[in-house]
């Protein structure tokens, strides 16, 4: 399970990040949560606990491996931005 957060210079997973509306939009955030088959509810809960409480669910992508996207309330997330974040979250698979 991975969680990638787009705020500040690095995500919770240590990956480089980009604010939701570009590098000059402090406070806006996109966070992704990737869930794969075989992961436990405990792992899911532990990862979600690292997310700020004020994020809201925005979209889900995938079929067997699911990537859930969360964003700052009141900040529209363009589909292109969400797809870029989802793609980046899946890029480190072997």
Q: Tell me if 45 is assigned to some domain.
A: yes
Structure tokens at 20: 């939701």
Residue 83 belongs to domain spanning? 2-13+27-90
pLDDT for 92 equals 60
> Number of folded domains in the chain?
1
Q: Tell me if 53 is assigned to some domain.
A: yes
Q: Tell me if 18 is assigned to some domain.
A: no
Q: Tell me if 22 is assigned to some domain.
A: no
Average pLDDT, the chain: 75
Q: Tell me if 41 is assigned to some domain.
A: yes
Contacts 24+ apart (CB under 8 A), 36-43: 36/1, 36/64, 36/65, 37/64, 37/65, 39/1, 43/1
Cα(8)–Cα(67) distance, rounded to whole angstroms? Answer: 21
pLDDT for 61 equals 92
Q: Tell me if 20 is assigned to some domain.
A: no
pLDDT for 58 equals 92
* pLDDT tens per residue across all 94 residues of the chain: 455 555 433 344 434 344 444 444 446 788 889 888 888 989 999 988 999 888 999 999 988 888 999 888 888 888 998 888 888 887 765 5
């Amino acid at each position: 399970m991975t969680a990638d957060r787009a705020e500040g210079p690095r995500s919770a997973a240590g990956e480089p990040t980009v604010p939701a509306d570009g590098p000059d939009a402090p406070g806006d955030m996109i966070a992704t949560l990737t869930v794969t088959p075989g992961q436990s509810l405990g792992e899911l809960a532990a990862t979600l606990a690292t997310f700020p409480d004020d994020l809201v669910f925005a979209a889900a992508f995938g079929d067997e491996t699911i990537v859930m996207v969360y964003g700052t309330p009141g900040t529209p997330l363009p589909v292109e931005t969400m797809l870029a974040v989802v793609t980046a979250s899946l890029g480190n698979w072997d």
